[in-house]
Amino acid sequence: MEHINLVETFSEFKEFKNIDRETMMRILEDVFRHMLIKKFGTDENFDIIVNIDKGDLEIWRRRIIVADGEIEDDNMEIAYSEAIKIEPDFEVGEEVSEAFPLINFGRREILAIRQNLQSKVQEYEKDNIYRKYKEKIGEVITGEVYQAWKKEILVLDDESIELVLPKSEQIPADFYRKGDTVRAVVSKVELRNNSPVIVLSRTSPVFLERLLESEVPEVYDGLITIRNIVRVPGERAKISVESYDDRIDPVGACVGMKGSRIHGIVRELKNENIDVINYTSNPSLYIQRALSPAKISSITIDEESKRADVYMKPDQVSLAIGKGGYNIKLAGKLTGYEIDVYRDTDVDNEDVDLDEFGDEIDQWIIDEFKNIGCDTAKSILTLGVEELVKRTDLEEETIREVIRILKSEFD
């Protein structure tokens, strides 16, 4: 019965464990040799034959034939009278090999073998998973959501290996249920309590880089080089690219005809706005391109402090800053310069749109002026305080403060 149980154990591991034949044979042999050493003090005179395909194992013991009554070590020696029962032609001094039935192991020993075997297999699998995914860092994995929790998502790959996608590595608009398919990049592989933990990420710039490689053959083939990627996940991303082949337009190739190539990436990243720009070693031009779609009038760069003062027309300022300030923030990260934007007021008669003062004047006040037809700075300054008090529902103090802010723009 114990022999059958062990055979069933081998079969079970053969069927359900992701272990190659040679490794399984080595693990089984190591486990039994360990038990033989524990039982007899040595395993030198034992041969172990493992048949993974049949889920079976044989142990053969070699002993020297000695005269009856002269046995000193019954593990290494066998009496002549016992040897001739195996083969009548045996003589003293010869070596005899006979099967060592698994039933010779006691019940406790068999239990220990099963536990040791299970432990060794699990240890191997953990090590195998760790090494496998350590080599996959930076690769995109497609898996199925097995469990969705508040702080993280448990994902299974095609081999049912557990992967983790923390909330911090998800795009804010991501929402997953059990059974959903998820794509993410392998961010890091850690060992926690001797168990591998594979952490995925959808917010890493590397994820965007891999998506670009999959959509743009020129990037994958190395004809186009990605110089830098910066992201505010789910909001905006900027990518600088270059090509050493003059015949290739790197930006056009990445975007594709009518945006065909970039569109799939944007959809995967939950409508993240992606700007692709040509890299250049000229810092002024690089910053100008990074601030796209805004157009600049002039730029002053301090290489020592890595600062850039950018001047542009008032109607371009809001474009440069972008929604939530993401455009200017990412442009700074992409180029490596701290960028300050200033309104260019060199032209005396140039007016400024009222919305440009949104960071200094509350929106409801701006709307109140717009209701009476004043949508620029000069249209308000022309009317004066008394007229504005009559036409709007604003208090005189508020109007005077607004006029002070607007006048400072032209001083």
In this predicted model, what pLDDT tens digit does every residue of 211-257 receive, in sequence order?
999 999 999 999 999 999 999 999 999 999 999 888 999 999 999 89
According to the model, what pLDDT value does residue 348 have? 46
According to the model, what pLDDT value does residue 32 have? 86
How long is the chain?
411
The Cα–Cα gap between 366 and 154 comes to: 48
The Cα–Cα gap between 106 and 2 comes to: 9
Instruction: Compute how many other C-beta atoms are within 10 angstroms of the C-beta atom of residue 243.
Output: 19
Instruction: Compute how many other C-beta atoms are within 10 angstroms of the C-beta atom of residue 12.
Output: 14
CATH of domain 281-344: 3.30.300.20
To which residue do tokens 């192991």 refer?
105
If you average pLDDT over residues 131-160, what whole number do you get?
Answer: 93
133 half-sphere exposure, CB direction, 13 A CA radius? 26
Domain extent listing, the chain: 2-131, 142-201, 281-344, 354-410
According to the model, what pLDDT value does residue 231 have? 96
In this predicted model, what pLDDT tens digit does every residue of 19-47 receive, in sequence order?
666 777 788 888 888 888 888 889 899 98
Per-chain mean pLDDT for the chain: 86
Structure tokens at 189: 């592989």
Where is average pLDDT lowest: 134-138, 188-192, 344-348? 344-348
According to the model, what pLDDT value does residue 17 have? 52
Pick the CATH number of 2-131 from 3.30.450.20, 3.40.50.300, 3.30.1480.10, 3.40.1160.10: 3.30.1480.10
Where is average pLDDT lowest: 65-74, 137-146, 198-207? 65-74
The CA–CA distances, whole Å, from 233 to 119, 230, 251, 264, 271 equal: 42, 9, 21, 16, 10
293: preceding bond cis by omega (within 30 degrees): yes
If you average pLDDT over residues 390-404, what whole number do you get?
Answer: 89
Q: How far is CA 281 from the centre of its chain?
A: 30
SS (H, E, C) the chain: CHHHHHHHHHHHHHHHCCCCHHHHHHHHHHHHHHHHHHHHCCCCCEEEEEECCCCEEEEEEEEEEECCCCCCCCCCEEEHHHHHHHCCCCCCCCEEEEECCHHHCCHHHHHHHHHHHHHHHHHHHHHHHHHHHHCCCCCEEEEEEEEECCCEEEEECCCCCEEEEEHHHCCCCCCCCCCCEEEEEEEEEEEECCEEEEEEECCCHHHHHHHHHHHCHHHHCCCEEEEEEEEECCCEEEEEEEECCCCCCHHHHHHCHHHHHHHHHHHHCCCCEEEEEECCCCHHHHHHHHCCCCCCCEEEEECCCCEEEEEECHHHHHHHHCHHHHHHHHHHHHHCCEEEEEECCCCCCCCCEHHHHCCCCCHHHHHHHHHCCCCEHHHHHHHCHHHHHHHCCCCHHHHHHHHHHHHHHHC
Q: Does pLDDT of 71 surpass 60?
A: yes
In this predicted model, what pLDDT tens digit does every residue of 79-102 receive, in sequence order?
988 888 888 888 888 898 888 887
**pTM, rounded to two decimals:** 0.67
According to the model, what pLDDT value does residue 116 have? 81
In this predicted model, what pLDDT tens digit does every residue of 337-392 receive, in sequence order?
999 988 776 544 567 778 878 878 888 998 888 888 787 888 888 888 888 888 88
Where is average pLDDT lowest: 147-151, 160-164, 347-351? 347-351
CATH T-level assignment (fold) for domain 142-201: OB fold (Dihydrolipoamide Acetyltransferase, E2P) (2.40.50)
By the 8 A CB rule, do 209 and 240 touch?
no
To which residue do tokens 């990412």 refer?
330
In this predicted model, what pLDDT tens digit does every residue of 11-20 receive, in sequence order?
555 554 566 6
